[in-house]
Amino acid sequence: MKQLAEFVKERRKKVNLTQEEFAERAGVALTVVRKIEQGKTNLNLDKVNLVLRMFGHELGPVNSRIFNK
């Protein structure tokens, strides 16, 4: 979650938006952006993806069996 938090925070600052401005443009509540940037782990994947789509990215489930071979 730390990588996600850093990614979102760095990209948001790069486009010179406050958390509030960014949340509004992403279509999520301010608390969603704050939770992501704080590295919280109880996040709604749909909301995270709304935020990430602002940067052309998306999170999805990964089959861990592929990585454990």
User: For 3-61, what is each residue's pLDDT tens digit?
Assistant: 999 999 999 999 999 999 999 999 999 999 999 999 999 999 999 999 999 999 999 88
What pTM value is reported for the model? 0.83
Whole-angstrom CA distances from 47 to 4, 26, 56, 65, 66 are 13, 9, 14, 26, 26
User: What is the residue whose two structure tokens read 């509030």?
Assistant: 20
